[in-house]
Chain A
Amino acid sequence: MLNIKNRNKRVFIVDFDAISPIGIGRNDIYQNLERDYCNETVLEEFSNSNIPFFIGAKIPPVKDVNFPNDLFAEIALYDRKFYLLYAIFQLMRERLELMCNLVPTHKKGVVLGVGADVIPFHLFRKEVQKSISANKNPYNELIFNLNREKGFLNKIWNPYDIHSLFIAEQLSLGAFQKTILTACTASTQAILSGYYSIQNCMADMVVVGGTDSILNPLAFISFGKLGVIPEHNDMNSNTCKPFDMNRNGTLAGEAAGLAILASEEVCRSHNLQPKYELKGGASTLDAYKITAPDPGGVSIEKCLHKCLQHANWKPGDVDYIHAHGTGTKLNDSIELKAIHKVFGEKASEVPISSTKDRHGHAIGAAGVQELVVSLLALDNGFIPSNRNLQTPLKPEMNLVRKNRKKQLKRIIMNNFAFGGVNTVLAIENQA
């Protein structure tokens, strides 16, 4: 990109929250970060089967989730992403409405990152068996019959767009309703897209965020077979070890989160005192192979460089890097290599950690979940540790081993996706 100096329009984060395996709401999440809580659990639906993957980070049932009508309740029953999104929307509803009412409909929009849809066929075994017996294609029959006479909302198999459309309808977000589908960077890119929408004067306020869950049979098993989730040989925990020499996979997870971005004019004219500024970000592509990331990490380096340039920061200005740190062999080594190259002599000083070891990898919602963690870190002067780190991959780098208290001004947040998509955000504390 050209002209990546800081543009005139400043963009602030005026509210944020998430539903995570380590907390329902940001206060809960922060308390659990402080006490090093890890929600790595045996998933009952998998543990009684003879398959080698059965540990994940699951969000416990959220209390008092009340859907506006039966159809939404039904959708939520079969689409975990929608359920989680609705839960975070309900949690934040009053705050969202208050803020969104400050801006006219045509100047506010929504951008959400979501993950792949998985039809829960395992819940419809009887129906499927009936169709097999009748020599029909069971899955086509199932989808067709379940969705009859429902109108613009299907019971199962909705377009990905329904998540952003739902939020838009609830909050009168008329400028745009975008859905980003770049897997592990989806919600990070959603945040960046919201940022540019304000900079490009398409909106004065944007609700950004995402929702995803891979704790369903097909996704969970697919990621396991791809080698992203380690085989669980026993019921012991600490399966996810970001940046550890003995790492062998990530912790499957789920999350949903929302944040509100607002322009400087909106903040000024309504006397908002935002604590965080989104200074910018960058996104690049590996252009390597869909089956593996570029081992050279060249595009990740470029992404980090561009992000720093966009924010007008030098490496030494960064107080903390919230890393992608999946705990997989390839990601962690490439990520550290790239950070080392970009930060140079500062690489041994800047604290680095990933929190996927405790809340899991939420794929499409990873970005927004980790944005919430990053903002809590900024707000509280707190750096979470690499909880399960014992033998650091690069001992010369400042891989945080214990939670720390430290005043933080500037954070870099990384997310990288399958297919070689890299996105980095720069966030600054206004305090």
Chain B
Amino acid sequence: MSALITGCCYKVPGKYAQLPLDFDPNLQYEFGELINDPKSPFHPKKNDSKIMRKDEIASVIALREMFKKLNLCEQAMKDIDLYVANGIFLEDSNKYLTKISNNFKDNPNMANNPMEAIYKYTPPLLALETLTNSTMSLIAQYLKIAGYNATFGNTSTSGFYALEEAFLNISQSRSKMAIAGGSNCGGLYSLLMFRNFFENAPNWKESAACAYLLIEKEGCRDESRTPLANITAMYSSTEISFFNTTKKTLNIARFLDENQVNSHIIFTGALTSNLNEKLVNQLNKNHSITNLYNYYGNSGVSGIYLGVIEAIKSFKNNDYSQLSVIDIDPYGRFSGINLEHVEH
């Protein structure tokens, strides 16, 4: 089974800053925010971008740029498949909740009737702002993609599943072309969601990011699109212990043994610097490693795609002819992709 990658795009933070955390002053949290250029000709319309998160705006811009570069027209795109993994969905919703709670503070009577406060301060489009498939639907709207689809989320393994579904459907000739990608909002709500998993970790680094791949079946590919890489295998761990901290030992060595992992690995990065270091040390025993944590920290659902894009860069530089991208999610699920350089 195989599928060709013929296009890719991504947006990552330009710089990182320490986020102040009044609830945990001992924690060093470095976050890279996405900065979208409002003057970009590919920026979504003002009315839409008012309800879009930054990672969604970045996704639309990145994909439109890619489509332009590859000369992909709307007509060609209407039947292609779209698989998106979504990270955290709350970016600024906090502001509505703060309005409601401030209202309680200022109007004690209102505190006795919270429903009225929620009704008064809920914006009319909040349901769309927090729609779990909003990224996928907005991509479809702007790129005119109308084929088979799914939104997965919201750990990095969901990113893997989105890509795997695209890969399998193309390998088995159910589809001829697909876009698969991940859009990670990250930020404070991501930290609050996963902080508890790694309580003693003093350092966290995370990126809001998005990354997408255009995947095609060889034989159906337009000759004008040069293959960037060939996906030759995808695999994931079959361990079934997710919640029990005492049973959780991250046996990456076993995962590597059970699957045919190449000698060079691009590791997408763990959630915390301690865990990342621990895993990289294990990987280093028998493999050479490119550690994406050093660049992006953890990038959630977009991580595995950034790993594949890093692989494509390596192929372009003739650094390697084959390599593997390995990911770990917060529950200790490993996933891997084998890629090979395509001569053309």
Contacts and interface: CB of A to CB of B under 8 A. Distances in A.
A139 B172 contact: no
Interface in B106-154: 111, 113-116, 118-119, 122-128, 130-134, 136-138, 140-141, 143-154
Contacts of B192: 140, 143-144, 147, 157
Interface string A368-406: 000000000000000000000000000000000000000
A37 interface: no
B330 interface: yes
A179 B152 CA distance: 6
B331 interface: yes
Contact of B331 (A138, A152, A223): A152
Contacts of B132: 115-116, 160, 181-183, 186
A116 B248 CA distance: 28
A49 B119 contact: yes
Given A129-B111, A180-B150, A419-B131, A218 B122 contact: yes
Interface in A161-208: 161, 165-166, 168-169, 172-183, 186, 189, 193, 196, 199-200, 202
A417 B131 CA distance: 10
Interface stretch (B63-71, B94-102, B312-320): B94-102
A186 B118 CA distance: 27
Given A51-B116, A179-B158, A419 B134 contact: yes
Contacts of A160: 132, 153-154
Contacts of B194: 159
Interface string A274-289: 0000000011111111
Given A152-B243, A159-B193, A189 B113 contact: no
Interface residues of A, number: 92
Nearest to A180: B150
B116 A148 contact: no
Nearest to A298: B146
B296 interface: no
B161 A132 contact: no
B238 interface: yes
A125 interface: yes
Given A1-B148, A419-B133, A217 B243 contact: no
Given A148-B196, A151-B196, A283-B149, A217 B102 contact: no
Given A152-B242, A159-B330, A176-B161, A181 B128 contact: no
Given A180-B151, A200-B172, A287 B145 contact: yes
A139 B119 contact: no
A285 B82 contact: yes
Given A157-B193, A282-B148, A284-B149, A168 B240 contact: yes
A210 to B, nearest CB: 12
Contact of B115 (A46, A121, A152, A282): A46
B236 interface: yes
Nearest to A143: B192
Interface in A98-122: 105-106, 115-117, 121-122
Given A174-B238, A196-B165, A420-B137, A189 B119 contact: no
A132 B97 CA distance: 12
B88 to A, nearest CB: 9
A200 B169 contact: yes
A2 B174 contact: yes
A245 interface: no
A8 B331 CA distance: 35
Given A132-B105, A284-B149, A218 B118 contact: yes
A85 to B, nearest CB: 15
B23 A144 contact: yes
Interface residues on B, range: 35 or more
Contacts of B78: 287
A271 interface: no
A140 B23 contact: yes
B101 A183 contact: no
Contact of A287 (B140, B174, B236): B140
Contact of B133 (A49, A175, A196, A417): A417
B86 interface: yes
A281 to B, nearest CB: 10
A418 B197 CA distance: 33
B343 interface: no
Contacts of B127: 219, 222-223, 225-226, 228, 418
Given A181-B133, A286-B140, A226 B124 contact: yes
Contacts of A186: 132
A144 B195 contact: yes
Given A157-B192, A218-B122, A125 B111 contact: yes
A172 B94 CA distance: 37
B194 to A, nearest CB: 8
B240 A116 contact: no
A169 to B, nearest CB: 6
A299 interface: yes
A93 interface: no
A57 B119 CA distance: 20
Contacts of B89: 116-117
Nearest to B88: A159
Interface of B: 22-24, 48, 51, 78-79, 81-82, 86, 89, 94, 97-98, 100-102, 104-105, 111, 113-116, 118-119, 122-128, 130-134, 136-138, 140-141, 143-155, 157-158, 161, 165, 168-169, 172-176, 188-189, 192-197, 199, 236, 238-245, 248, 330-331, 333
Complex A-B, nearest 3 residue pairs according to Cβ-Cβ distance, in ascending order: A419-B137, A174-B238, A49-B115
Interface of A: 1-4, 45-46, 49-51, 105-106, 115-117, 121-122, 125, 128-129, 132-133, 136-141, 143-145, 147-154, 157-161, 165-166, 168-169, 172-183, 186, 189, 193, 196, 199-200, 202, 217-219, 221-223, 225-226, 228, 282-291, 299, 302, 417-421
11 contacts: A49-B113, A140-B192, A144-B195, A148-B199, A166-B243, A178-B158, A179-B154, A181-B154, A283-B150, A284-B149, A285-B137
Given A225-B119, A287-B145, 16 more contacts: A1-B169, A117-B89, A121-B101, A137-B23, A138-B101, A179-B152, A181-B152, A181-B153, A221-B118, A222-B130, A286-B141, A290-B134, A418-B128, A419-B133, A419-B136, A421-B136
